[in-house]
Amino acid sequence: MRDDTAYGLDGRTAIVTGSGSGIGRGIALEMANAGADIVVAELRVEAAEETAAGVREMGRKALVVETDVTSEDSVRLMMAAAMSEFGGVDVLVNNVGSLGPDGEKTTLVNMRLDFWEMLLKVNLTSQFICSKAFIGYLLENSRKGSVVNIASLAAMVPYEASVAYGAAKAGVVSITQTLASEYGKDNIRVNCIAPGPVRTPLVEARYKGRDEVRIAQNRFSPLGRWGEPDEIGRLAVFLASDASSYITGQTVIASGGLVQFMTKVV
């Protein structure tokens, strides 16, 4: 008899950071659809409640925790709330990310140091803080677990006027490889997704008024379109589930085949 249980997340709890909208919401809903209860870790409580409502509509439990992932104290409180509500946590999705205010693009010579530091803090340091808290919890309780980091295609190819964002996302890929190497012996897997253009508010803001760029970019994509949040969500489910039990330290590019392109079309 065929056994499909490895492809689900029944009986597990997943923390999804930044899951109030966009890719984070897509991941939270797909993980709930696969059977997981969800901790919606998000600064924007109203948006988080909308995601939580969607999770509950699928018959799963959802806990909204107002969380600043750049603060160790806030992440510590989020972990404590998750433990109190669910008794344990099995999956961490480090999804929070930012291109800057309204998708702001800034070249190196025009970039302020505080802008550089802000993007690294939001996109990279946040993953360090959350992973440290989650993996520390797994080790203390002798639990296996899975971390799914969200990077970007910008980690592999240059995005126009996005040196800080690209550097931070490349750091996410490096964190993924190092943590996978360090904690594989503890039955902790760490993998990464590098999305290309996905239809989210963040990306829509970046391409506002640039329809010609969007059209040109799609011509370079074998699938000829942007991705959708739920498509990234289903990949995250696979990496979090036992279906990928022999996979760790990997970065999966989800871009519709869009890899070889000029910086002017991003």
The residues annotated as belonging to the active site are: 165
Kindly state the tokens that stand for 19: 């899951």
Chain length of the chain = 266
198 backbone dihedrals φ, ψ, rounded to 5°: -125, 140
Estimate to the nearest angstrom the gap between the alpha carbon of 71 and the chain centroid. Answer: 18
**Backbone phi and psi for residue 245, each to the nearest 5 degrees, phi listed first:** -60, -15
Q: How far apart are CA 191 and CA 126, in angstroms?
A: 16
Residues 6+ apart with CB under 8 A from 223: 256, 257
- Helix ranges (H only) for 108-200 are 113-120, 126-140, 163-183
